Structure 1
Amino acid sequence: MTQTTINRYGAIASEIYDIDKPDFALPDTRFHLARFESFGRPILEPACGSGRTLIPFLKAGHDMAGFDPSPDMLDRCRTRCAEEGFAPELAQARYEDFGFSRTFGAVLVPVGSFTLIDDFAVAMDVLRRFHAALEPGGVLVIDLQGLGFLASNSIDRRRWTAPSGDLLTCEGTRSVTDWFRQRAESVYRYERWRDGRLIETEIDIMAQRFWGLDEFRMALEAAGFCSVSVVGNYDRSRGLRGSDRTWTFEALRA
């Protein structure tokens, strides 16, 4: 059994991620590609994972760079990029310590990855780091799940068959719900089974911080951003609704 860490995304979790979320399986990728159509400046994707967003953007002709703290995710991302003929600038880094020698026209954080920063003060520092990483006039785009997700307490129990034929299983159980800090923890147990035998287990503690709508608007402004706008559930044709599961924030560096 591997060491327990926070938001680690180890080998089994990374393999499951690719099986469970192939390119364009979620609505965010098409939405963001449409937003950045004809965008001629470099784009940074924090927490790029195994390339679910990054690779479609590369295929669309964008200059993309990314970072991720998980070596397993990055290994899969590099392999997938190479298979498609790409060699983007990728780095193993955390939100708190990433650094590139250039600035970017956009920072894109899709599908709620920003909630993995589970401390308010750290999140504010990261927003300021995003601001510094942007060119003047650059845009920050972040998908978020709102504070209502703290109320969810269901068990996440799923399984997949890997290309190798292995059975991969996942069970996640909420262990902490902290309304005061707007933070949740869940214990995830990932298993690999072969020929009816358990051959590998990983334990990951998933920690997330959820945000209020106006709270995050103010956080962006406090970090130096302006012209903040929000879209609900990847649908620009309507206003925000209380039932929206995802908010997409967009803000500019002046």
Structure 2
Amino acid sequence: MENTYGTLASWVYHLDKPIGRSFGDIEFYRERLSGCREPVLEPAAGNGRVLIPLLEAGIDIRGFDASEDMVAHCRRECEARGLPSPVDIARFDSFEYGTRFGAIIIPTGSFQLITEPVQALAVLKRFLDALLPGGRLILDLDALACLGETVTPARQWRTGEDILTLVESRVETSFQRQTTLSQLRYEHWRAGRLLASELQFFHLRLWGLLEFELALRSVGFGKVRVFGDYRADDAAEEGASIFTVEAVAPG
């Protein structure tokens, strides 16, 4: 169950982060992709929170996710809007397309779900190989300060007669490996009765900015820029909570 979004986890995600809900990222990515005439790929597209607004903006984008439940949410939302459903079930380490892309985007820090550095480097190389010459990899990373943050212990969402609850606890923090491991328990209640529960272990590896730039360059990426908190300029401030890294494939 590590880093796996099952039925309840996907439902809660969809309630908490519905299509189009922006943290500044949708506008930022739309602007960064505005001049891209080639296809765009979003790995870990989830329920389509970012993908669908970009699709509606006229960007030629497709995506994939490892969770069948997440992909089902995305496809339903596309169908409800009369849009194509360009989303597949695939994983970081095994996705394969018959075309190369002008950009690959990974908002919301999903790349941090890869907790082993060697595997992360292999995935970065797969991204590079999937890009056209001059194509860009654009992805979000949480600040290293998140290693010391506490989690919100309990949350709930109501939808009709249903109540979805989430109780989260930090199991382990490793400053040496730059990883966090959290336990998330999801429950589905109706009329005071527990209908279903689901346990998820959420494992993340955070990156230092210089460390990540060196990783990108080691697999062959060229120019690297860093943006802080979705600001349009690349003067990333020390106190930013989200950093967006943009790296260019060699031309």
- TM-score range, shorter-chain basis? over 0.9
- Contact kept? 1:175, 1:185, Cα under 8 Å: yes
- Contact 2:225/2:234 (CA < 8 Å) preserved in 1? no
Instruction: Describe the superposition over 1:185-231 as per-residue Cα deviations: whole angstroms up to 9, x where unpaired.
Output: 10000011000111110000000000011001111111111110000
User: Is the CA contact 2:100–2:132 (under 8 Å) kept in the aligned structure 1?
Assistant: yes
Once the two structures are superposed, the pairs formed by residues 174-189 of structure 1 within 5 Å of their partners are 174-189=170-185
Match of residue 25 from structure 2: 28
1:122 alignment partner, SS class: helix
- Give the TM-score of the pair, scaled to structure 1: 0.94
Q: Kindly indicate whether the alpha-carbon contact (under 8 Å) linking 2:187 and 2:197 is maintained by their aligned counterparts in 1.
A: yes
Query: Number of residues paired by the alignment?
Result: 249
Q: Which runs of 5+ in 1 are unaligned?
A: none
SS at structure 2 position matched to 1:113: helix
Name 2:119's counterpart in structure 1: 122
Q: How far apart, in 2, do the equivalents of 1:87 and 1:236 lie?
A: 30
Alignment of 1:40-189 (within 5 A): 40-162=37-159, 164-189=160-185
Q: CA RMSD in A?
A: 1.3
1:111 match: secondary structure: helix
SS in 1 for 2:223: strand
Partner SS for 1:222: helix
Measure the CA separation in 2 of the matches of 1:26 and 1:161.
22
Question: In the alignment, does 2:218 pair up with 1:198?
Answer: no
CA change 1:226–1:135 in 2 (3 A) is same
Query: Contact 1:24–1:30 (CA<8 Å) still a contact in 2?
Result: no
Give the partner amino acid of 2:25. Answer: D
Aligned to 1:219: 215
- On the 8 A contact 1:65/1:89 being kept in 2, the answer is yes
Query: Amino acid of the residue matched to residue 75 of structure 1?
Result: A
Ranges in structure 2 where 5+ consecutive residues have no aligned partner: none
The answer on 1:252 being equivalent to 2:248 is yes
Amino acid at match of 1:39: C
How many Å apart are 1:41 and its aligned residue? 1.1
Distance in 1, matches of 2:24 and 2:95, equals: 27
* Maintained 8 Å contact 2:109/2:141: yes
Stretches (4+) displaced over 6 A: none
Q: Hey, what's the Cα distance between the residues in 1 that align with 2:61 and 2:153?
A: 33
Q: Is the 8 A contact 2:79 2:85 kept in 1?
A: no
Instruction: Report Cα offsets for 1:225-244 as digits up to 9, x if no partner.
Output: 11100000111247222211
2:12 aligns with: 16
Local SS of the residue matching 1:66? strand
TM-score, scaled to structure 2: 0.95
Q: How far apart, CA to CA, are the structure 1 residues paired with 2:85 and 2:74?
A: 10
**Aligned pair in 2 of structure 1 residues 240, 38: CA closer, same or farther (>3 Å)?**
closer
| Contact 1:229–1:251 under 8 Å retained in 2 | yes
- Tell me which moved more, 235-244 or 87-96: 235-244
Summarize deviations over 1:104-131 as a string: whole Å, max 9, x none: 1100001111111111111111000000
Contact kept in structure 1, 2:161 and 2:191, CA below 8 Å: no
